[in-house]
Amino acid sequence: MTLTVGFIGLGVMGSPLAHRVLASGFPLTVWNRTPDRTEPLHEAGATVAASPADLARTCDVIALCVTDQRAVTAVALGPDGLHTAPGRGQLVVDHSSIPAATTRTVAGRLRAANGMSWLDAPVSGGTPAAERGTLTVMAGGSRYDFDRVQGLLRAYARQITLMGPLGAGQATKLCNQIIVAANIWGVAEAATLAEAAGIVPERLLQALAGGFADTPLLRHYLPHMLDPHDDTLGTLTDLVKDLDAALAAARATGAPLPLTAHLAELLRIANRWTPPRISGSFIGLLRGPGHTDTRDDPS
């Protein structure tokens, strides 16, 4: 039997995911806090719901891809939220990046309200992978719930792993973000040194190909990082949010994360230095006053 799917959150990640769900043949209903973002999907054949609760009444699986824990909580437990809909075995699949503790709390309250199940399933790969259908999904929840949405997840993900019980997917995403932040800051420093040495930074891609420094992050991120107007990779604010969540989890468990703490503060400063929506905006912090990133950006 084909699952009926609802999708909530149609931003830079959610919109391409929802389009892939629709293109894969799933009956789709969508809702977004900003209604005009539903129009392209409506024109493509999706139904538009009046509220999260309205969406939940007709869908077997409800996918979320919203900005933060406040948005997830509002969708699930706020006025006209999922908790006000009749429960009939629906499963929420949350692709947002939020703290594991919040996941467990919201999921527990929703189950108590109407019996809906929850799978935390944050993603990695960015908008390009979402558009290609090659995202990485790291999930937390029961094996039963994980197995029942394999067909749906395959519409937009290539690597799908159940990491453990509720919250394990979110914890894995924080590990992912630590690795991403450390690597892209290293790329920024390498590009800065290359420029100072009179080397065209893009030539690093050719020179380092096949060596230990040759990584997907280097190849993907460096060209975007060097363009002062490129905003295709989303906002750096989300990465800072995730690093802060990792540090909060580390404090709660006693895990030392000294580099992560330093990176979070560097990126927080960078977000004040240049517009955080510009891809790799933090390289401006290394280049110093007078660089073209802020002068040329219309904001």
Residue 288's contacts (CB-CB under 8 Å, 6 or more residues apart) are none
CA separation, residue 48 to residues 100, 155, 263 (Å): 30, 20, 41
User: From the candidates 20, 148, 173, 277, which is the catalytic residue?
Assistant: 173
In sequence order, what DSSP letters do the residues of 128-191 get, joined into one string? HHHHHT-EEEEEES-HHHHHHTHHHHTTTEEEEEEEESTTHHHHHHHHHHHHHHHHHHHHHHHH
Strand partners, 8: 31, 64
Task: Please tell me the distance from the alpha carbon of residue 65 to that of residue 94, in angstroms, as a whole number.
Answer: 6
* Residue 55: half-sphere exposure toward Cβ, Cα within 13 Å: 31
**Closest Cα partner for 152 from 19, 26, 23?**
26
Task: Please tell me the distance from the alpha carbon of residue 141 to that of residue 273, in angstroms, as a whole number.
Answer: 40
Task: Please tell me the distance from the alpha carbon of residue 229 to that of residue 278, in angstroms, as a whole number.
Answer: 6
- Catalytic residue check, 241: no
Catalytic residue positions?
173
